Amino acid sequence: MRICMIYEGSYPYVHGGVSSWGHQYIQGMPEHEFVLWLIGANAKDKDKFKYELPKNVVEVHQLFLDDALALRGSAREAQMFTQQEQAEISKLITGQPLNWDILFSCFYEKQMNPASFLVGESFLKTFEASCREHYPHASYAEFFHTVRSMLLPELYLLTQPVPKADIYHATCTGYSGLLGSLGSFVNKKPFIVTEHGIYTREREEEILRAKWVVPYFRHNWIDLFYQFSSCAYSHAAAVTTLYEQARQKQIELGSAPEKTSVIANGIHYERFCGLEDKQPDGYIDIGAVVRIAKIKDIKTMIYAFTELKARVKNARLHIMGDVDDKDYYKECLLLVKQLGTQDIIFTGMVNVIEYMEKLDFTILTSISEAQPLAVIESFAAKRPCVTTDVGSCRELLFGCCAGDDLGQAGYCAPPMNKEELALAMERMCKDAKRRREMGAVGRKRAQTYFTHQHSMQQYKQLYREVVEKWQA
């Protein structure tokens, strides 16, 4: 089978999270060929892969959203639209539900130049009518540049060549879901969406906080990503996610319940299960396997550890991971210096399995997560965790499904709450017996519910079912 995996802003350009999952996923299916259809933000990242691609990757297609900005067009290019197409173009501007197949036909099959379209007479007439009706008191120029910024990357993607594949598999409902839907439309093949986090909700939270968005037009950007999720859910033959709460959110956002299912993350349990408890050396060593990025909230981790250090003098914090945001990394280093906190070690990229031998337990302070592999790997290594209450972290710590009565594998605290995180770490530091008990629970939970083999079996079965239904 030839599978087209569609990644957005992740594999193979950055380490961790979806990228780790994506690399293991392809390696876990050596019997299939994989085509990578990659979406990045900046063309300067072309070919700058953080992973050596597996041998069963047979093609790589890279698209970068900032390439759309280089498009040149002319209002003189002939643009003929049917009445149906004109109606959908109007909905593009106002954020209403769309008939995506009409847009796919209009832009992909006709190879409409997005830059010419956005200065063409037909678009401008529709835009002006929308502006008068919906935004009579807004700046015309600000509204135009907002709409152009929204539509240009989207329409650019709709005009790009579609790789051949037997099945298309996107890792989110955003631009990735848009391409997966397009691939299914063009080549008449099934499409699957696997969401780790709920993309639409994550983008909504991001836009509400973003300083680059004109406040008056925030809802336009939010509507755009809701349009994308509607496109992906409607075209997908199957929609999966990592845990039940996320599946319910997918249904709330418009996915048909019968399309949805839960396939949990899986880790290579055998790589970690040989590790035993750390030998006492006078220190309590805490590890964070994490990218240095704002969403991981390293600053709260630093503040919380600083409070812990005042009460547990022999605590050490090891922050293990690649620098995803250089400016944020510099801010974190400056914060450590300003606080004067000792025993915070930024290790950079390390062999996590080897480094885990040095740790007593791990911590995760993210603002947003889905089902973090770092927590499951920590469990397999028999290291309990302190996490923020995001995504499925609470389920991982206290029981992941009905019938999971294994017990507690760590402590949970509210996001961005340094006091509660410090308290949870203190409890873990001061009770070695309880720490070992929770580590044993975590290992059993990882072995029972979160192995790579079990996850791969479920995806392979899903592929078979989807292809069979499509061909029926």
- The CATH number of the domain where 231 resides is what? 3.40.50.2000
Residue with tokens 């099934």: 190
Band the pLDDT of 115: cuts 50, 70, 90.
Answer: very high
How far apart CA 286 and CA 305 sit, in angstroms, is 10
Output the pTM of the full model. Answer: 0.90
How far apart CA 184 and CA 396 sit, in angstroms, is 35
Half-sphere exposure of 327 toward its Cβ, with a 13 Å CA cutoff? 1
Band the pLDDT of 107: cuts 50, 70, 90.
Answer: very high
Question: Does residue 468 fall inside a structural domain?
Answer: no
How far apart CA 331 and CA 324 sit, in angstroms, is 13
Question: Which among 130, 147, 137 has a CA at the least distance from the CA of 224?
Answer: 147
- The verdict on 64 and 44 lying in the same domain is yes
Identify which has the larger pLDDT, 134 or 59: 59
pLDDT, average across residues 238-256: 96
Residue with tokens 């087209």: 4
Domain residues for the domain of 238 are 2-70+161-262
Question: Does residue 434 fall inside a structural domain?
Answer: yes
- The verdict on 226 and 372 lying in the same domain is no
- The verdict on 342 and 371 lying in the same domain is yes
Instruction: Encode burial over 160-178: b for 16+ CB neighbours within 10 A, e otherwise.
Output: eebbebbbbbbbbbbbbbb
pLDDT, average across residues 245-266: 96
Band the pLDDT of 174: cuts 50, 70, 90.
Answer: very high
pLDDT in the model for residue 362:
98
Say yes or no to pLDDT of 266 above 70.
Answer: yes
Say yes or no to pLDDT of 402 above 90.
Answer: no
pLDDT tens track for 306-351? 999 999 999 999 999 999 899 999 999 999 999 999 999 999 999 9
- The verdict on 208 and 327 lying in the same domain is no
Number of domains in the chain: 3
Say yes or no to pLDDT of 61 above 80.
Answer: yes
pLDDT in the model for residue 403:
87
Half-sphere exposure of 241 toward its Cβ, with a 13 Å CA cutoff? 26
Say yes or no to pLDDT of 233 above 70.
Answer: yes
Question: Does residue 379 fall inside a structural domain?
Answer: yes
- The verdict on 247 and 281 lying in the same domain is no
Q: Where is 430: in which H helix or E strand?
A: helix 418-430
- The verdict on 114 and 26 lying in the same domain is no
- The verdict on 228 and 329 lying in the same domain is no
Say yes or no to pLDDT of 264 above 80.
Answer: yes
- The verdict on 145 and 193 lying in the same domain is no
Task: With beta carbons less than 8 A apart as the criterion, state whether 130 and 91 touch.
Answer: no
pLDDT in the model for residue 94:
84
Rounded to 5°, angle at Cα 457 from 389 and 400: 25
Question: Does residue 469 fall inside a structural domain?
Answer: no
Question: Does residue 297 fall inside a structural domain?
Answer: yes
Q: Which two tokens stand for residue 396?
A: 């991982």
pLDDT tens track for 349-376? 999 999 999 999 999 999 989 999 999 9
Say yes or no to pLDDT of 97 above 70.
Answer: yes
Mean pLDDT of the chain: 94
Band the pLDDT of 78: cuts 50, 70, 90.
Answer: low
Question: Does residue 114 fall inside a structural domain?
Answer: yes
- The verdict on 52 and 166 lying in the same domain is yes
Query: Which of 231, 262, 293 delimits the end of a domain?
Result: 262
- The verdict on 90 and 127 lying in the same domain is yes
Greatest mean pLDDT among 111-115, 278-282, 313-317 lies in 313-317
